[in-house]
Structure 1
Amino acid sequence: MSSVFTQIINGKLPADIVHEDDQCIVIKDIHPQAPVHLLVIPRKPLLSLAEADDSDAALLGHLMLVARRVANDAGIGHGFRLIANNGAAAGQTVDHLHFHILGGRRYGEANL
């Protein structure tokens, strides 16, 4: 699998990286849908959340904790959305699992 995210992880494409560790990276989205729009991307090349299995539990937990940490660092820890689009029918455009962190504005029921 060689998605745009794999190329970013391997240093072949540039990105605005805000966090990096041995299991994941977090980058600023190049087409932000909110004042703060970050992507949490595992280094492991999972296609989507549907492709994860029980052996990925620790990785998925790590991604959630990193999302919390970078949301706090970005000043949106008090209120943000964490979204994983799963498959093309749900709007997933890159075949590599990633979580969107969206914040910096108020969300209401009409925005769901």
Structure 2
Amino acid sequence: MSTDLFCEIIAGERPATLVHEDEVAVSFLDARPVFKGHVLVVPRAHIETLADLADVGPFFDRVRAMAGAVEEGLGAGGTFVAMNNRVSQSVPHLHVHVVPRNPKDGLRGFFWPRTKYASPEEAQDYAGRVAGALTAG
């Protein structure tokens, strides 16, 4: 079995601000978010690319639910949902970015400026708001 940063987070060997987890996927805040509340959804099993994902339905059900939860929990106008496949894939583990969006938020094309959370407590607040919307929906 291959081990990468996301496998370590899934195994609890590396800290992350979890938003949700189940038998199919684990979702956590991106440590370098485009906008605060930027969530990564990763399959629990080590899968490197979309082509390697045998059953896309259950995984993308989680991605769809997370996109709705990010909008509802953060009061976002929408979301940007994206995935790199090999090229520009910073971690060799399939992952989908769910980024909160609002009109005139400054995001242009594929230029992804990054920000930071002021504290672990602020990160946990964002994760809790998204997780609350996920369970409410």
* 2:43 partner letter: P
Q: Aligned-residue CA RMSD in angstroms?
A: 2.2
Q: How many pairs are equivalent?
A: 107
Is the Cα–Cα contact under 8 Å of residues 85 and 92 in structure 1 kept in the other structure? yes
Secondary structure at the aligned position of 2:38 is classed as: strand
Q: Which residue of 1 aligns with 2:29?
A: 28
Structure 2: how far apart are the matches of 1:22 and 1:77? 28
Is the Cα–Cα contact under 8 Å of residues 19 and 70 in structure 1 kept in the other structure? no
* 2:73 partner letter: A
Change in Cα spacing, 1:9 to 1:73, as seen in structure 2 (3 Å) is farther
Matching residue within 96, 99, 102 for 2:96: 99
Structure 1: how far apart are the matches of 2:93 and 2:80? 19
Change in Cα spacing, 1:35 to 1:43, as seen in structure 2 (3 Å) is same
Matches within 5 A, 1:1-112: 1-52=2-53, 55-76=54-75, 78-88=77-87, 91-106=88-103, 111-112=108-109
Q: Report % sequence identity.
A: 27
Structure 1: runs of 5+ lacking an equivalent: none
| TM score, norm. by length of structure 2 | 0.67
Structure 2: how far apart are the matches of 1:94 and 1:74? 27
Structure 2: how far apart are the matches of 1:80 and 1:107? 13
Structure 2: how far apart are the matches of 1:78 and 1:66? 16
User: How much does 1:71 deviate?
Assistant: 1.6
* 2:84 partner letter: N
Structure 1: how far apart are the matches of 2:85 and 2:15? 25
